[in-house]
Structure 1
Amino acid sequence: MGSRATADPPIPDFDSDPIPANRSLEERLGLVGESEIYDSLWFTTLIQSWESLVLILSTFWCILLARVVTQKLRLNGSPNLCYAVEFILVILPCILLVTVAVDYSYHIGLVMFLVTLWFLRRTKALERARIRSHFDLGGNRPMAFSVLRALTHLITAICILAIDFGSFYRPYRKSRQFGAKLMDTGIGLFVFTMAMVSRRTRHWSDLRRSVLYSALPLILLGLARTVAILMLGYGQDAHEYGQHLNAFFTLGFTKFLGALVGLLARKDLHLLPLGFGLLLIHQFGLSVLGISDYVMDEDVERSNLFDANREGLVSLPGFVALYLVSIYVNRWMVATTLLSYSELVKKLRRLFYLVLILWSLFVISTYGIGISRVTCNFGYVIWMLAIGSTTLWASFGAIDLVINSVMPWEANQLEEQEKGLLTGDTPVKGREKSIVPFTINQALNQNGLTFFLVANILTGGVNIFLEPEDRSNFESVLILLVYMFIATKMAHELLKRGVRIA
C-alpha cells in the first residue's frame, strides 16, 4: 500500500561518548541490533508507542503525587512554596526521564505502581468513594482536561530543547516518515487538547469568533516564526511541516477548517461520522492515490509553494478529523458532570471500553498502514485518540474517584472566587493567596500559549548562545532545569496575579 511503513534513516550521533541509558527497549530485550534501531517495522512501532505512553503516564503520576503532597502539607496558602514542591516532583523527574535516567524508567514505573497500591490500601479510597453522595466533575472544564493540557505543554516544552543535547534519549526523536515516538505525539496532543476546550460551531458568528480569537493569532504566530527563522538563518527540518510552515500554522489552520466543517453537524453526535468520514477519505488519498508516496519522496523538488510545504498541507485533513472527533469525546465526557457513584463508574467503564477499541485499532493500523505524523494518517489519528482517551480515563479515575474521595478540595466562600482556576475560566484579578491544587497545571492552562512562546524563545537563545550539542550530561540537565524554571515561573506569576494573556 502507498503508505506502508518504511525505515527512518539513522540519526547522526552528536555525542562522542553516548551514555548506556540511550538504548531503546527493543535493544535491551535483544530484539534488534544497532543498525535497526530506527527501522519502523510494525513491532518496533508498537514498542516505540509503549515507551512514549510510559513516559506520559509517569509524568501524569508525578502530577498526582504533587497534588497529594501539596495538599497534605497544606501549601495552598503559600503559592511560591506550592510551586517549588510541584517543580521538584513533576518537572525534575520528567527532565531526568528523557535524558540521563531513561535507563531506569521501568524501575521507576514499578515503584509508582507499588506506591499506588499502597495508597489505595492505606486510605481505603475505593471504599470511601462508594459512600460519597455525588461526584462533581467540574462543569465544562473538568480537572482531567486541564491536567492533559498541562501535561502536553510540559513534555513538549522539555523535549523541544532537550533534543538538542547529547543526553536526550534518541528513540524519542521525531520519526522522519513512519513511527510512534514520544516527540511524534506533540502536535497531535495539542490538537486533541485544543478540542477539549472547543465546542461545535453552530452559527456563522461562532465561526467568526473562532477565526478571530483562536485561528488567526496562531497563524500570525506561525508567520512570525517563519520570518524570524529566515532572518536569523536558523535551521528548520523541511520534512516536518515543509520549508515555510510550522506547528503554529497547523494548529491555526486546523482550528479554522475544523470550525468551518463543524457547521455541517446539526448536533454533537454528528461530529463522529463527520470526523471519521473525513479521515477515511484522507487515508484513501494517502494509500490508494499515492499521496503518501508523493509527500515522502525526497526526489520531489520543492519548486513551488505546495511542493515546498507538502508535509504541512497534506496532513491538514487528518488533523481536522482528529479535532472533530476529539470535540465529540469532550462533549460526551461533560454531558453530565454531577454524578452518583454508579453513574461515574459506568462512565469510566465506557471510557475504558473506548480505550481498548482505540488501542486495538492502533495495533491493526500499525501492521496495515503504519503510523505517520508527517501525513497524519488514519493510524496516527487513532494513536492520538488512544493516548488522549487513556490519559482522560486515568485522570478521571485517579482524581475524581480516588484522590477527591480521600482528600477533597473544599473551597470556602472566599475560595469560591478561585473556581475559575479549576474550570479554566478567567480567575478574579488581584488574588494572590489561595492557589488551588495543581498550581503549575492551572498556570499553564491560563496562559498556555504565552508559556509555549517563551519556551520557544528560550530554546532559540540556548541554541544560539550555549551550544547545547557540546554540553555534558550534568550541564544539559542543569540548563533544562533553569529553562523550565523561567518558563513555568513566568506562567505561575501571571496566575498569582490573575492575569490572562493567551
Structure 2
Amino acid sequence: MSDEDAYKKAKELFVSGHNGTTVGEVALVLSILSTSLWFYSELVFVIEKMGLLGKSKLQKTLTLLVIEFATLVLPILLSFTLTEFTLPMTRPWSLYHPTRCVSCFPLRVVVFAAGAVVLGSLSRRHSSDAEKKAALKDKLSLLMAREKPAVTCFRAQMMICTCVAILAVDFQIFPRRFAKTETFGVSLMDSGVGLFIMSSALTSAYARGSTGDKRASSTFSLRSIWNFFRPMIPVLVLGVIRYITVKKVNYQEHVTEYGVHWNFYFTLASLYFTFSVLALFGPYATSIPVALLILVGYQFGLTNYGIEDFIFHAPRVDLFSQNREGIFSLCGYLPLYLLSVAVGQVIFSSANTASRQQVRSDRYIVATLFMIGFTAWGLTHLTTKHVTQPSRRLINIPYVGWILWQGVLVLTTHSAYQHISLSPRVPIIFSGISRNQLFVFLIANLITGAVNLSMQTIYAPTHVGMAIMALYM
C-alpha cells in the first residue's frame, strides 16, 4: 500500500465509527447563534449612537464587517473547536493537583446574553423619545419586509456552521463526538444536513405563499417545463461534477454516508424534483398530514419490513444497493421538507400585516413556533424512547423530529430577540450568504478539497488547524 493510499485509509477511519453526543449538547452549542446575534444588534446600535461607525459609507461598511466577523462568525468557529478548558483544582495541603475539564458553551452563551442585556438597557436609558420612535419605525419596516430577518439570519448561520464543520472535522481541533455518527445517535454534524434542508424549505415559493395558481395549472409549455426543472439543474450539475472530481483525484470517501455514487447534491436535486411533482397535485399533496403519512409509513418499513437492515448491512451488488443510503434518505428528507415549508408559512404569514398589527402578529408567530417546537420535541422524545434512536443514515422519525425541534428552537429565539430588541438588524454578511447559499457552499467545498489535498490535516497540530480555519473563514 502506497503512502497516499495509507493516508486515505487513515483519513476515512478518522471520520468514521463515531457515536455522537447528546441532543442537549448540540442545542447548547447552537444556542450561541441567537445570543451572539442579539449581542451584535445591541452593540451596533450603541456604537452607531456614539458615532463610532465612521463617516463615509465605506468606513461604516468595513467597520460593520469587522464587528460581524468578531461577534457572529468567530463565536461559531470557537464553539465548534475550542469546546472546553482545563481548570486546575488546587489543594494547598496536598502535593497532588488534579484538573477538571470545563465546558466553554455555557460561559459563552451567558457572556453574550449578559452583554446583550447590558447594552440593551444602556441604549434604552440613554435614547431620547425621538430616537426610540425612529428605531421602532426602522424595526417595523424590517419586520414587514418580504425577507424575514429571522429566516435570513437562520439560513446564513446554518451555512456558516456547515462551512466550518466540513473543514474542521478533518482536523484534530474538531471534537470527534461532533462528527457524523456511523449508525444511530446525534451529533453536531448530523444536524447540519437536516438543518440545511430545513433552511432551503423555509424560503421556497410555497413557504412564502407566492406560487399563485401555478400548482393548479394544467397548461404545459416550454416555459412551464423550464420553471419546473430550473431549481434542480444547478444542484444536479454540481453533483455530477463532485462525483467526477472525487473519483479523479482519489479523494477520501465515507461510503456509508450517501453511497458509492450518491452525494448531497443528488439528494437536493431529487428532493426538489419529488416536491415539485407532489405540488402539481395541489396544496393537499404537500400538506402536514401527507408529510406525517410518508414519515410514519417509512418508519414502519424500516422497522417491520427489513429496510433498516438492508441499509446497514446489505452487500453493494448493483446500482441501487450501492446508493441505498442516499435513495432511502429521501423518504425522510421529503417529510422534513414538507414540515419545514409549513413552518415557513407560519413565519411569512405576517408579510402583509399592517404596521400597527405587526407587534401582535410577531407575538403570535413566536407563540406558534414555540408550540411547534414543543410538539416536535415531544415526537422526538416519545419515538426515541419507544421506537428507535435517531439516525442520520436512515433519516427516521426521531431524526426528523429532532431536526425540526432544533431548527424551530433557533427560529423561535431569533424571532423573540427581534421582538424585544430596540433595533434588530440583519448583518451584511448574513444577507449576502442567505442570497447565495449554493455558491457559498460550492466555494467552501472547493477550499475544503484544496486544503485536504495540500496537507495531511489529521496530523496537523492545534495551532496550525486553528490558523487555517481562521484564514478559511
* TM-score, scaled to structure 1: 0.76
The equivalent of 1:407 in structure 2 is: 423
Deviation at 1:361, TM superposition (A): 1.3
Q: Is the 8 A contact 1:66 1:90 kept in 2?
A: yes
- 1:255 equivalent to 2:272? Answer yes
Q: Is the 8 A contact 1:262 1:271 kept in 2?
A: no
Cα distance in 2 for residues equivalent to 1:67 and 1:164: 33
Cα distance in 1 for residues equivalent to 2:162 and 2:453: 20
> How has the CA–CA distance of structure 1 residues 323 and 14 changed in structure 2, closer, same or farther, with 3 Å as cutoff?
closer
AA partner of residue 362 (structure 2):
L
Deviations 1:6-53 (A, max 9, x none): xxxxx99969xxxxxxxxxxxxxxxxxxxxx9557xxxxxx6221111
Deviation at 1:344, TM superposition (A): 2.5
Deviations 1:385-410 (A, max 9, x none): 111211111111112x122xx1266x
AA partner of residue 451 (structure 2):
V
> How has the CA–CA distance of structure 1 residues 451 and 296 changed in structure 2, closer, same or farther, with 3 Å as cutoff?
same
The equivalent of 2:159 in structure 1 is: 153
The equivalent of 1:273 in structure 2 is: 289
Deviations 1:93-150 (A, max 9, x none): 221221124431222223234334445655569xx89x97994533443011111110
Deviation at 1:193, TM superposition (A): 0.9
AA partner of residue 64 (structure 1):
W
Q: Is the 8 A contact 1:148 1:391 kept in 2?
A: yes
> How has the CA–CA distance of structure 1 residues 120 and 354 changed in structure 2, closer, same or farther, with 3 Å as cutoff?
farther
Deviations 1:327-386 (A, max 9, x none): 121112212233343333233222212211111211112222211111111111111111
Cα distance in 2 for residues equivalent to 1:13 and 1:288: 32
AA partner of residue 104 (structure 1):
C
The equivalent of 1:423 in structure 2 is: none
> How has the CA–CA distance of structure 1 residues 211 and 232 changed in structure 2, closer, same or farther, with 3 Å as cutoff?
farther
Cα distance in 1 for residues equivalent to 2:115 and 2:390: 34
Deviation at 1:212, TM superposition (A): 3.0
Q: What is the total number of aligned residue pairs between the two structures?
A: 412
Cα distance in 2 for residues equivalent to 1:14 and 1:197: 36
The equivalent of 1:366 in structure 2 is: 384
The equivalent of 2:98 in structure 1 is: none
Q: Is the 8 A contact 1:152 1:189 kept in 2?
A: yes
- Counterparts of residues 159-174 of structure 1 (less than 5 Å): 159-174=165-180
Q: Is the 8 A contact 1:207 1:260 kept in 2?
A: no
- 1:178 equivalent to 2:160? Answer no
> How has the CA–CA distance of structure 1 residues 232 and 94 changed in structure 2, closer, same or farther, with 3 Å as cutoff?
same
The equivalent of 2:408 in structure 1 is: 389
Q: Is the 8 A contact 1:60 1:151 kept in 2?
A: no
Structure 2, unmatched stretches of 5+, are: 1-10, 85-102, 126-131, 207-213
Q: Secondary structure at the match of 1:303?
A: coil
Which of 71, 76, 96 is the equivalent residue of 1:94? 76
- Counterparts of residues 425-464 of structure 1 (less than 5 Å): 437-464=426-453
The equivalent of 2:107 in structure 1 is: 107
Deviation at 1:265, TM superposition (A): 3.2
* TM-score, scaled to structure 2: 0.80
> How has the CA–CA distance of structure 1 residues 107 and 207 changed in structure 2, closer, same or farther, with 3 Å as cutoff?
farther
Q: Percent identity among equivalent residues?
A: 25
Structure 1, unmatched stretches of 5+, are: 1-10, 16-36, 41-46, 410-436, 485-502
Structural RMSD (CA): 2.8
Deviation at 1:68, TM superposition (A): 3.0
Deviation at 1:57, TM superposition (A): 1.7
Deviations 1:171-217 (A, max 9, x none): 10001111111000111111111111113361467974554321121
The equivalent of 1:398 in structure 2 is: 417
Which of 215, 219, 238 is the equivalent residue of 2:255? 238
Cα distance in 1 for residues equivalent to 2:297 and 2:388: 14
> How has the CA–CA distance of structure 1 residues 140 and 262 changed in structure 2, closer, same or farther, with 3 Å as cutoff?
farther
Deviation at 1:237, TM superposition (A): 0.6
- Counterparts of residues 226-375 of structure 1 (less than 5 Å): 226-266=243-283, 271-297=287-313, 300-337=314-351, 338=353, 339-367=357-385, 368-375=387-394
Q: Is the 8 A contact 1:100 1:473 kept in 2?
A: no
Which protein shows a greater Rg? Answer: 2
> How has the CA–CA distance of structure 1 residues 211 and 177 changed in structure 2, closer, same or farther, with 3 Å as cutoff?
farther
Cα distance in 1 for residues equivalent to 2:110 and 2:73: 19
